[in-house]
Structures are given as structure tokens and as C-alpha cells.
Structure 1
Amino acid sequence: MEDERGVEESEEIGGVTQPFVGMEMSSNEPMNSSIGGHSSTNDCSSTAMGSIQKSALVDIFKSGDLDFCCKAIKKIVGASMKPNLSDEEEQKFRDLVCNEKSTFKALWQKANRMTDRFTQRHGTYLQSTFDLPTELRATSGMGVVGRPAVEYSALGVRRKRTKEKELSELLIDEPRDKILKSVTRALEGDDPTDKDLRAIIKELLKSPTRPSKIREKLKAATPSPMSIEEAVSLMIDSRMPVSTYEMLKRSADAHDFSLYPPYYLLRKYRKDFCRPAEQLELSDTLASVSLQALLDHTVDRIFKLQQEPLLQFAEKLKNSTLKLQLIASWGFDGSTGQSQYKQRLNANENATDSGIFVTTMIPLQLQTEEVIDGKVLSILSGASSHQVCPICGATPSEFNVLNRPLKPIPDCNLQYGISPLHAWIRFLEFCLHLSYRNVDGIKTWRVKGGDKNPQLNERKRKIQEALWEKLSLRVDFPKPGGAGSSNDGNTARRAFSIENQVVFAEILGIELWLVQDLHVILCVISSSLPVDSKKFGEFCRPLADRYVKAYPWFYMPATLHKILIHGEQIISRSALPMGMLSEQAGESRNKLYRQDREMHARKTSRKENLLDVFNRAMDSSDPFISELSMSQRREKNDPNPELPARQLYSEEDDDSEIESFKEVDGALDDVELVTEQIEADE
């Protein structure tokens, strides 16, 4: 009699291991498979080509139709079968599979579709093999067809995708629960990762709504508190006073969310990490630190910022000691219009707090370049007047004589570079002064009566009104208190911009080509892209000739002479593009000094006020803190807003040294942009 035990009828044979593509199943090994819930190992080995143990075909015959079975068996036999079957051979293979499937179906029905009963009664059938006919097998002369078998983990991305697609096609008609349970059973082992995966899959299978709930839980962002460095960066970038920060912290704490760290930790961090360890020299009129202490502090912060790239670089070179040279530009500038306080100055009766004179150091890259403005350059080079060329010593009357022999140029005069920011302002003033005099009855460089000449003043007034009416530009208006004029960098950039060039030239009554070519030069020297010095010289010399022919009566100013005549020499001597050596970084801080002195510094004494301004400058220029908000500043400030005349830029991408060290200094982001843009252009 048949065994009538209440064995659970199931459509699933969960433990049978399906061979990988190309695996051959042995008919001589004892069957050692897992059918139903009986767990054992399947240690099948290959004997002859084109033979598959029938125990490996049980799931295939149960799970799909004839087409599915043929496709699955082809995957198993792999290279054992001829690669390209004829129609007749294909039909023969289908008939063979169909007969085997019918045999299995009959035996399965006799066992009443019970797994245990089928295993007990038909063990001989399961241990036998399914053999391909000789005419369907790959001949020995054909060799192994296709690529050699490679483990899945060693495959490339594309081949992995192909394997995954093939497996998904085999399982496309299988129930989802069956696939997941089979995966869970395949993860039986002591590996902690396997245990975690089993637990996750079992959690997913607890209920139909479980996956969506878990996904919603994962999507819910877990708020994380702000780090001390991020909080310091937030306070500095937003110009946030302490009272505002503490109010925000109290508000967040009231909602049970400790977003902001306590302010005392921020104050301690700034004192310990953002400022040099050396004691400051402090008085009523001076706050300073030694250059060596400032350099040591800057290097230390840059190394902290780029610690991981430096370690990787050292490991790549197999050298535990790296020799790096930090090169920086330096300069000084005055800022007037400061708030004046009532405390008495003890140091010097002639001292005043209406202005601040600041010496700054800017970390650049691998080579040094001292960059200063025109007034300081005239003093250092020994020029007798600001109207004299600080490079060659030529006087204004000699500027328009282009065929004269150039005077010997000391090498030291070329090391100070070009001042891009001041060049915009000087070129604007040059065009204005040329326009004031470009009228019949004046047309001379030195006007009789000077600024009191009524004809000159009347023309100046008309030009000022026209520029204000048509372009909304206020030019040549003195600022209150004698702190300069309304001619600044923003005014110059708007006047020379491509959309305003035509109107600007028409109002001034000067040649349009002069405005356009000056704009090209200004954009080139302000750009952080490398410039071809030879091409720059070839562009400037014809412009100088053309200008002298058009306006021989008006001597070009010293700044224009310096750039048109000596620009090629200066650029060739500079290791970095002129735009990277701009004094704009120092100039832009003048407004911050004024705000910090008024809003973020104590007023209890002059020493404390000056100390707070100095410390605030150190905090805001810290490389590590600045990097935290660098991406926002990159989006706001495009380093190369307008780049006409691409032929002036260097086509050589000789940035191997930059590429090697660009990870070292967080201040080298302009260099990275330069490299990327050059590669895109090429």
C-alpha cells in the first residue's frame, strides 16, 4: 500500500541547486540534493559533456512550459552543445526535452505530486542522466565556444548585467515569494552579511504592506546635528551675531532638536584652531603676528583639510615624507571711511582711526608672485611719479612714441605682475578723460586751466548725465569725505560689458574698436586661464599702433602703456595666470573690515576693538572653514564670467605639476577649473 502520511503537497522544490552555465552534472555520483524541506548539499561534479543529472531538472520541468525548459537546459549544458543548431537539430532537441518532460510528469503524477513520495519511489530516475545525442554535442575540434567561465564577482559591469538579465528571464514566471525564499535558503551560512540579508528578507515577507512601510522609514531623513566647524562657517558666512546664533539654538532646542552646538564650543574652536599659536603684538593702533607664525598656521590648516589626499599621495610615492612648498602672494592696501570712536589714542597724537592699513598674505599654489597695485609698485620701483611707467621709467610724453628704443628693464620690476582690478578702473578713467578732451578747441593732453576750464567741465557734465540716463552709471563723482570717487570695479565692468559697449562708445564719442579691444585685454588679464604671452603681445602691439594714429595728441596713461607694451614680458615671467594673482581678494575685504569693526568688535577699548577685527579676519580666512561653504561661493561667483578672444589663451595643457599637487591646497579651486575648462576646449 502507498504511504498515506499527511505530507503537505507543494509546488515548490526549494533546495535543488541549479547549476551555473556550462556546469556538467555527473551520473555516477550519488544524488545528494534537497527536495522539499529536506536540507542537504548537492556536490555534483562533471563527467561527460552533454550529461545532466535529472535531479537538477526537477524544478525546471515543474516550473515552466516546453519553451522555458528548452531554454533553461541550454543554459545548463552551455558549451557542451553545438553553438548553432539547424532547424532539424533544434526540433530534435525539443522532442528530446518534450519526451523527458512527459516521463517526469507521469512519474510525478504517480507519486500524487508529493515530494517525499517522489523521492522515495523514483530515486533511480533522479540519479540517472539526461544525455544529449552525439549530433547535438560540440565536437572536440570546435573547442570551448565563447569566453572561459569566470566567477560572477570577477566579471565586468556589462557582463554582470548580462548574467543578471539571463537569470531574471529564467525566473520571470516564478512567484515572488518563491524567489525570495530560495534566496533566503541560499544564504544559509555563518557569514554575518548572510545573516543580515536573511533577516531583512524575512522581515519583508512578514506582510504585503511591509516593504512599503520599510521604504517610507528609509526615506524619512534622520536629522543630524551640525558640527562645530559647520556652525563656525555658518556664523561667518551669514555675518551672524552671537545673539542671533543663541536665539536659533534656543528655538531648535525647544523643538527637541539639538541642531546647533553650544556657542562656547565655537568660541573655543576658533581660539584653538583658527588663529596662530603665537601671541599677537597688540596696541591701540596695531595688531600683528609674525609672518612665519602665519605661514605655519596656514600650512597646518591646509594639511588638515587635505589630509586624506596627502596620505594617498605619500602612499603612491611610497614615501612617508613629502616635501611641499607653499607659495603665497602678499600685498597691502588702505581702507578709509572707518567709524571713528571717542576713546583717546595713547600711542600717537597724529594717529586716526578713520582708516585701516592692512598687510595680507594669500596662499596660491606652487610658485610665488608678489602682486601689488600701481601706487605701491611706483614706490618700490623708484618711479619719480605715478604717471611714469614703473617698468621702464618712460614719461607720458614718451608713451606714444612706439618706435623709440625701449629703456633697459630691471628684472625686479617684472616680478610684481599686473593689477587686474585696478586696470579696469584705470581703463575706464582713460576712456573718460580721452572723451572729455576729444572735442574741437581742446584736443590736448594738458588742458589750459585744468579742471577749471569751462569747456572741459561742460563736456564732462554732459557725458556724466548721458551715462547716468542711458546706462545708469555714475562716473567721476567724488565720494563724501574725500574717500575716492564713484569710479569702481563694478562701474568699469558694466561700462565695458558686451551689451553696453556700443552705447558707451557713442556717448563718449570714441572709437568702438578701442572699447572692444580694451575689454578683451581686461577679461584676459582677469581670467584664471593660462594666457599665451606671445599671442597677447601680438594682440596688444597693433592696438597700440592704431591708438597712436587715431589719438596722437593724448598720451596713453602709465597703466595702459604698462599692459600694451610690457604685458607680454610680465605674463611670460609669471608662473600663474594674472587673474589668479589679482588683488581682488584683498580689496574685497575692505568692506568686511568696516562691517566687522562696527558690528562684530567690542567698543570697550581700542585694543579690544582692533583685536576682535584681527581675529575675525583670521577666522573668516581659515582654509578649513572656508572650504565648507566653497561650493556656494562657486555657484555665486563665476571666476571667468566673460571670455572673448579665445585665441589669446594658451593651448598647452602643461598642468602636470598642478594636477599632482592640486589636492594639497584647498585654495587651488581656480586652478582645477582652469584645467577642466582647457580639457573641455581641446
Structure 2
Amino acid sequence: MYPHMNEESMSLAVDAVNKRFLPHFIKKKREVDSSKSKFYKRYAKWLEGEFTLDLGTSSVDSCSECDVGGRPVKHFSECGKRAQYYKVNSLRECCSQELIDAAASSSREEEKRAVLDADSALALITQANLSKYQYETIRKTTKEKGYNIFPSYGKVLEAKTKCYPPNIEISEISAKVPLQSLLDHTVTRIFESRSDSETNNWPEELMLHTKWGIDGASGQSEYKQRFSADNNDASDSHLFLTSIVPLLITPTTFTETESREIWKNERPSSTNYCRALHFQFKKETPELTRLEKNRVDMEIKELSETFITSGTRTLRVSHKLHFTMIDGKVAQVVTNTSSASNCILCGAKPSQLNDMSRYGCPILKEEALLLGMSTLHARIKFMEYILHLSYNMQFEAWRTTPATRPIKEEKKKHVQDEFLKRMGLYVDMVKQGTGTTNDGNTSRRFFSNPALVAEITQVDERLISRLGVILEVICCLSPIDTSKFREYSHETATLATTLYPWYYLPANIHKILFHGTEIIESAALPIGSLSEEAQECRNKHYKYFRTHHSRKCSRLATNEDVFHQMLISSDPFISSLRPQFKTKNAAK
């Protein structure tokens, strides 16, 4: 028909008409309800005009949404149902069904080719606690369905090796890594979790704030694996663990107008960043606690800066460590306090702990101020204080005698039954080999309903409510107004000692009510971020990793696998890739 046009030019011309002319024609035809007479009458001038074909820009994959003039075209997902209906019909009129099917098929193929990288796959494995068998099963099943989403396990193993700092030492009874190596590796992985555009704007001199602590755990499983002759007397029934948690990276020097936070651990009480430094099969004793504390202190003194290359710059990161992930037993040992019933700060004995004249008294052991508040154990101690007040209320004495012990046991049984019946809580019950049922979650539910707890225990509701408020304040990750905290804690201490002068305050509660303000003022970071909760939760992770993620062929292999798994699950880069889920009762 057009001898001067070859087949390719003709195809381009048809495509140009479909793209540039037909959408306008269909739109105008729809406006006159497909009436020819109305169409010729209304658009006579438009029909007399010229239509220029731009063969250089025509495209086979065109549709009526590309360029029809008039108002700006909204994205399909932003249109209403009626507009979406018209767009779909318009697409059907101007494009062939084969083209539409090809586009849909191409889109599905792109989705199938959206493969996870090895680091993201490792984050998924860590978050879901998948074994190698479970991962391979999921990968094989999805691959058979045509979705090659997951990388091979070999690539995952390569990603795992990046989570291990150098110079790890493994033996039959312990596993450890030098503090310098672990901190260097932690800083490197934090930088890898941030984009280059972000790190390029960071100052060249930085400081990483890290909390650390030590804790013992009993009731460990004793495996049927022999020790060598050198460790014949060893036992794996007890675990002694040393851990660190990176909290914050700040500029070494900054002004009031500059941001103090370069990087921040948003969940300092989570195990996602709780990194194992040293674990050993030994029972927690005062001698072992002092020995481990002195060993880590020596490593801290010898720490050097970490150097990180960002683009063309070299950043220097110094380190500041805070010894706050401890419980009352460790605090008593490191402060050389003679008894667990005495205050580690002012040295008050049990009979002096209710003396309000000691409020704000001089601190005898300044180093004890830097040990934090042990907020997780404070939760438990506050709950046990209310329970013990209830048990002893009938005879109003701090200690029991042979005559009053049956009265206490009868009241204790009644209180336990009421809590189980009315709140579903097991309180103050011994668990075989693992302490008691008093834990952080039980305490949270305990103080969430002061009225009901007061009704069950017969303890004053005001005191229960105020203790619950103090617990929430000291667990807060934001700075605390110390003047208001001083006033509130003083009123609470006065109320407790006035209502129940016959029961001496436990040393932990005395420390918070009487000296809490000084502890908060001495802390370099918000007191809630210095909690020991992350390390306490790590004990159950150790048990799980040893059971499900370790080889049992030898003790060396078992300890190596467990230590590697603890490093992987706390790697900052892998943790940054984990999916985050919002809880139903998350703070708004």
C-alpha cells in the first residue's frame, strides 16, 4: 500500500498511531457516547488537523496511560474503582491480548528471579532459628515451584564466616575471643550496616559506648561426652558467661548544637546485640568473679582505637566500657561488701535500711555508683518485697520464728493460690534446677494491676502503684529528671517505712529509693539502657544453641559451634537485616 515504507517502518507507524492517536480518539468517542453525528459536529476542527508520526520514539510496549494529554495521570493504585475499570478497558482496546499476557508473564518471571542475598538469608535463618535441614527443605520446595528465592547453603556458610572475629580460642571447657578483636569486629559490622552516604558524613573521631557484665547459670545439661585427661575433674553443669552489648556511637567531641548520636542500639536489652566474650564451664564463686573482672579490666586498659576506612577517609573509634550487666551477687563481690543484706553504696546494715535520716547520706563507695541499678533484678526484688510483706503481715516481724513459720506458710499458700486463680501467675514457686517462677515477665504483670494485687496481698495499693511507676522510670531509655525522681522516691520510701516499719527494706530497694538519684546522675547514658536483661536472656539461648545448633562428636566441636552461633545471632550487620515486627501493645 505504501511502497516507500519498509516492513519495520510500517510497524513503527502502527505503533505510533496506537500510542499517540488512538487514546485521544477513544477518549473523545466515549464523551459523545459513540454517536458519529455528535462526534463529527463537536470535533470537526480536530479531525481537520494534522497528526505527525514520530517513528523514532514509538514503542511496542505502549498503552493509553503513557501520554494522552489533559490532567496528570494518576498511578493505577491511587485511582478509585471506577477509574481503574476505565483504565483496564482502555488498555484492552488499544493493546492486543498477546501483549498483555506477555507483560504479565514477564512481571511474574521478574518476581521469581528476586533472589535473597546470603546475608539476608542468614538473617532469616537466625531470626526463625532454622536448622540446615529446615533451610534446605524450604529452599528445595520453593525451587520446585519455580521460585528460586534462597541462595545455596554454601553461600550462607560464607556469610557466617564474616560474623566471626579473629583469634577465637576454643577448648573443652571454655571459648573466648580477645576483647580488642571483638570490639574491632563489632565496629566494622556496624559500619557495614550503614550506607556509604551516611558514614561519609560521620566525624573522623568517634567513641563506641559498650556495656559488659558477667553472670553464672546453673542447671545446665551434662552431655555424654568425655573430657580429656587434663580436664578430668571438669563438669558442664554450670556456665559462667561474659558478654558485651554495643550501645551508642558518638563523636569524641561535640557541641550542644550537634547531634550526639551517630549510631544507637534501639533495643539495648535485646539479645540481638549481646555478644559473647567468654564462656566457661565453671561454677560462679566470688574468686572466679574477681578473677574474670580483673582479666577483662586488664584488656580494657590495653585497648587501642579501631580504624575504619570510609571512602577516602579513615575514621578512628575509641572505646568506653560500662560494667553494668551484673546482678546483686556480683555487685556485692566487686565492691567487697560483707553481706548481701547490706547496702553496697552506704554500707547500711538491715536494721538501718529503713532509717530515713540516711536518705541522701554520703556515698562510701563511689565506684559502686557506676554499677547501675540491675533493673531486671530490681523488678523481681520489688515484687518479692510486696509478697513478703503480705506473708508476714499477720505477725508483723521481719524474720520468722518456729512459732510464726506455720502462719507464714499458710498465708503464702493462700496468696499463691489467689494469684494463680485471679491473675494466672505462679509466684514464689521453686522450679527444679532453675530457681523460682519469679521473673521479669511475672513482675510486669504483677505491677500492671495494683488494685487487684493490693486486694490479694492486703498491701497498701498506693505503695504498689508507686513502686510500679519507679520500675517503669528506671527501665526507660530516655533521660530522667533527677529532681523529680528524688522527690518521688523520697515520698515512696517515707510511705513504705511509715506503713511497714517492722519490715526492713531489702538492700536492692534501699539502693534505688535512697540512692537512685545519685546513680542516675553518675551514669553516662540513660539508666534503662544499662540493664543486665540481655545477658540474663542469653543463658537460655546458650542452652538452645547447644541442643539444636551444635555437633555432638566432641566437646571441642560443640563449644565451637555454640560460640559461633552466639556470635552470628548477635552480629550487628545480620541483626540490622532481621525483620522487625510491631507488637500489639507497642507504645505509640
> 2:95 pairs with 210, 230, 234, which one?
210
1:292 partnered with 2:180: yes
Of the structure 1 ranges 219-228 and 357-366, higher mean CA displacement relative to structure 2 is found in 219-228
Letter in 2 for 1:208: E
Task: Pick one of 404, 424, 428 that aligns with 1:472.
Answer: 424
| 1:306 corresponds to 2:194 | yes
Change (3 A) 1:288 1:206: closer
Partners of 2:213 and 2:244 within 8 A in 1? yes
TM-score (norm 1): 0.61
Aligned to 2:343: 389
Deviations 1:557-588 (A, max 9, x none): 01110110111111112232222111111122
The alpha carbon displacement at 1:310 in A equals 3.6
> In structure 2, do the counterparts of structure 1 residues 401 and 201 end up closer, same or farther at CA, with 3 Å as the change threshold?
same
Give per-residue Cα distances to partners, 1:13-71, cap 9 Å, x unaligned. xxxxxxxxxxxxxxxxxxxxxxxx9xxxxxxxxxxxxxxxxxxxxxxxxx9xxxxxxxx
Aligned-partner Cα distance in 2 for 1:196–1:484? 76
The answer on whether the counterparts of 1:393 and 1:407 sit within 8 Å (CA) in structure 2 is no
Structure 1 position 240, deviation (Å): 0.9
**How is 1:255-334 mapped onto 2 (pairs within 5 angstroms)?**
255-271=145-161, 273-278=162-167, 280-314=168-202, 322-334=204-216
Contact 1:335–1:356 (CA under 8 A) maintained in structure 2: yes
Amino acid paired to 1:400? N
The residue aligned with 1:411 is 366
Would the alpha carbon gap of residues 368 and 292 (structure 1) be closer, same or farther in structure 2, given more than 3 Å must change? closer
CA shift for structure 1 position 261:
1.0
Post-superposition Cα deviations, 1:118-137, rounded to whole Å, max 9, x if no partner, equal xxxxxxxxxxxxxxxxxxxx
> What pairs up with 1:439-588 in 2 under 5 angstroms?
439=394, 442-449=395-402, 453-481=405-433, 483-497=434-448, 500-588=449-537
| Distance apart, 1:428 and its partner CA | 0.8
Partner of 1:357: 240
Aligned equivalents of 1:201 and 1:593: distance in 2? 59
Q: Secondary structure at the match of 2:438?
A: coil
Aligned to 1:148: none
Specify every segment of 5 or more residues in structure 2 that has no aligned partner in the other structure, as ranges: 1-16, 18-27, 29-43, 67-89, 250-319
Say whether residues 1:399 and 2:353 are aligned partners: yes
**Partner residue, 1:424:** 379
* Structure-2 change in CA distance of 1:201 and 1:254 (3 Å): closer
**Residue pair 1:203, 1:210 contacting (<8 A) in 2 also:** no
Give the deviation of 1:308 after TM superposition: 2.2
Report 1 or 2 for greater relative contact order, CA contacts < 8 Å, sequence distance ≥ 6: 2
2:552 is matched with 603
Conserved 8 A contact 2:345-2:363: no
Pair 1:342-2:342 in alignment: no
Q: What code does the residue aligned with 1:585 have?
A: A
Match of 1:589 in 2: 538
Q: What secondary structure sits across from 1:237 in the alignment?
A: helix
CA distance in 2, matches of 1:605, 1:370: 34
What RMSD over aligned residues (CA atoms) do the two structures have, in Å? 3.0
Partner amino acid, structure 2, of 1:276: P
Counterpart amino acid of 2:243?
Answer: T
- Change in 2 beyond 3 A, CA 1:426/1:208: same
Specify whether residues 208 and 568 from structure 1 end up closer, same or farther in structure 2 by C-alpha distance, changes over 3 A only: same
SS state of the match for residue 382, structure 1? coil
Please say if residues 376 and 532 of structure 2, whose CA atoms lie closer than 8 Å, have aligned partners that are also in contact. Answer: yes
Q: 1:448 to 1:264 in 2, by over 3 A?
A: same
CA 590–206 in structure 1, closer or farther in 2 if over 3 Å, else same: closer
Amino acid at match of 1:392: C
**Are 2:212 and 2:321, in contact at CA under 8 Å, matched by a contact in 1?**
no
Report if the CA contact (8 A) 2:191-2:199 is conserved. Answer: no
Distance 1:196 1:550, change over 3 A: farther
Per-residue CA distance 1:284-338 (angstroms, 9 max, x = gap): 1100000000001001101111142444415xx7xxxx11211100012223332
The 8 Å contact of residues 463 and 508 in structure 1, kept in 2 or not, is answered as yes
Q: For the residues of structure 1 that align with 2:58 and 2:497, how far apart are their CA atoms?
A: 82
SS in 1 for 2:146: coil
| Counterpart residue identity of residue 165, structure 2 | P
| Contact 2:220–2:236 (8 Å) recurs in 1 | yes
Compared CA separation, residues 486 and 311, structure 1 to 2 (3 A): closer
Q: Distance in 1 between matches of 2:192 and 2:127?
A: 21
Helix, strand or coil at the partner of 1:438: coil
Between the aligned partners of 2:430 and 2:241, the Cα distance in structure 1 is 24
Aligned equivalent of 1:222, options 111, 117, 123: 111
Residues 349 and 392 (structure 1 numbering): CA distance in 2 closer, same or farther, change over 3 Å?
A: farther
**Aligned match of 1:622:** 571
Pair 1:587–1:199, CA change in 2 (3 A)? same
Secondary structure of the residue aligned to 2:205 is coil
Residues 435/211 of structure 1: CA separation in 2 closer, same or farther (3 Å cut): farther
Match of residue 375 from structure 1:
329
> SS of the residue aligned with 1:376?
helix
The alpha carbon displacement at 1:281 in A equals 1.5
| % identical aligned pairs | 35
CA change 1:216–1:469 in 2 (3 A) is same
Q: Which has the larger radius of gyration?
A: 1
Match for residue 8 of structure 1? none
Please state how far the C-alpha of 1:203 moved relative to its aligned partner.
11
Instruction: Structure 1: state its 5+ residue gaps.
Output: 1-36, 38-62, 64-107, 116-177, 190-194, 642-676, 678-682
Structure 1 residue aligned with 2:561: 612
Question: Aligned pairs, how many?
Answer: 446
Shift of 1:268: 2.0
Q: What amino acid does structure 2 have at the position aligned with 1:332? A: I
Q: Could you tell me how far apart the structure 2 residues matched to 1:358 and 1:307 are?
A: 34
Q: Deviations over 1:610-655 (max 9, x none)?
A: 11110000001011111112523xx1497x75xxxxxxxxxxxxxx
- Point out the structure with the larger strand share: 2
Deviation at 1:394, TM superposition (A): 1.1
Change (3 A) 1:203 1:494: closer
Q: Distance in 2 between matches of 1:571 and 1:329?
A: 15
Deviation, structure 1 residue 254: 2.0
Counterpart of 2:344 in structure 1: which amino acid? Answer: P
